[in-house]
Structure 1
Amino acid sequence: MKKILTICCLSIFFLSCEAQPDPTSFSTDALNDTFVNSEGESVTLQSILDSHKGKTILIDVWASWCRDCIVGLPNLKKLQEEHAEVVYLFLSMDKTQKSWKAGIKKYEIEGEHYFMPSGWDGVFSDFIDLDWIPRYMIVDKDGKIKLFRAVKISDPKIKEHLK
């Protein structure tokens, strides 16, 4: 009887600890977080997303010092060729705007670029539970997050959500 009771209690515990589903929309705080565009202007995530309403967006959180980010660039560029209709937003975790801009130039990264002044400690980073870069997300034409977490550009879920 003790064994059955223990199994029941453990089952209830593990079922109650089930992982929460990934969010399908950005929080208000994340939408109000600010980024810096290539002209040095401060813009909110909301304004960035609004400028691409009706389009599929691939978000790439990266940094020029990140080995995994750089190693994935050839596959990302191939993806850009295959899905030219997609908007590619690059959100940089570089420590300075100078290194951010130098990285874009050095690696010839095509797309729309923003610098994250708050870095790992910002509202956006907290919202996406950022613990690793690169980090890829897909936002669909309706502004819904279709893919919340991918850490490799070769993740098959990325192509699946770009179709």
Structure 2
Amino acid sequence: MKKSIVFVFITMLLVSCSVENPTEFSEKALNDVFTSINNEEVKFKEILEKNKGKKIVIDVWASWCKDCLENLPDVKKQQEENSEVAYLYLSLDRDLDSWKEGVKRLKLKGQHYFMKSGWEGSFGKFLALSWIPRYLVIDEEGKIAVFNKTKITDSVIIKELKK
């Protein structure tokens, strides 16, 4: 009996803590403002528009993040294997200089943006960020195909990229 109650409690806890998997970005997330590597302010919806019709991998990361850095070799390998896919790096670094130095030092290829609003901004809240790295895949129609993954090697990401 005790085992049954514990099982039910744990199941309810896990279900209540699960993150919703939306297929579209909220209006607030789309209007959140990022800084480009060239210091231009750009709304997230403009970043998506720039990549319209392409499959997109979004990597939410920071140059100080140990797990982010450990995943980078796999991200780079995946980039080589999927050259037709757009790779967006959205940084949660503490400041612009640290972010730009990290991009340069780590030789990251792709499109780079700084999340001005940080963890608690509209975009971060939409993602329900609690950990980075965080990976998303956007399909060619602009829908969120993969929402909440912390490993770029996750089978769901691999499967989506092969479609």
- Counterpart in the other structure of 1:91: 90
In structure 2, relative to structure 1, the CA distance for the partners of 1:64 and 1:20 (3 Å cut) is: closer
User: Pairwise mapping of residues 1-163 of structure 1 onto structure 2 (< 5 A)?
Assistant: 21-163=20-162
Given the two structures, how large is their TM-score scaled by the length of structure 1? 0.88
- Partner AA of 1:141 in structure 2: E
Q: Number of aligned pairs?
A: 152
Counterpart residue type for residue 93 of structure 2: D
How far apart in 1 are the matches of 2:87 and 2:156? 16
Shift of 1:118: 1.1
Provide the C-alpha distance between the structure 1 equivalents of 2:20 and 2:129, rounded to a whole number of angstroms. Answer: 16
Where do 4+ consecutive residues of structure 1 move more than 2 Å? 17-21
Change (3 A) 1:20 1:72: closer
CA contact 2:31–2:44 (8 Å) conserved in 1: yes
Q: For 1:93 and 1:44, locate their aligned partners in 2 and report how far apart those are by CA, in whole Å.
A: 16
Alignment partners' CA distance in 2, 1:158 and 1:137? 8
Give the superposition deviation at 1:21. 4.2
Whichever residue aligns with residue 97 of structure 1, its letter is L
Q: Secondary structure at the match of 2:119?
A: helix
Query: Cα offset for 1:48?
Result: 0.3
Structure ID, larger Rg: 1
Paired residue secondary structure (1:147): strand
Distance apart, 1:117 and its partner CA:
1.1
- 1:82-115 deviations in Å (ceiling 9; x for gaps): 1000000000000100000000011111000000
Secondary structure, aligned partner of 1:120: coil
Q: CA–CA distance in 2 between the matches of 1:155 and 1:75?
A: 11
Identity among equivalent positions (%) equals 50
Q: How big is the shift at 1:153?
A: 1.3
Structure 1 residue runs without a partner (length 5+): 1-6
Aligned Cα RMSD in Å?
1.8
Within 2, Cα distance between the matches of 1:123 and 1:56? 23
Aligned CA distance change for structure 1 residues 131 and 58 (closer, same or farther; 3 Å): same
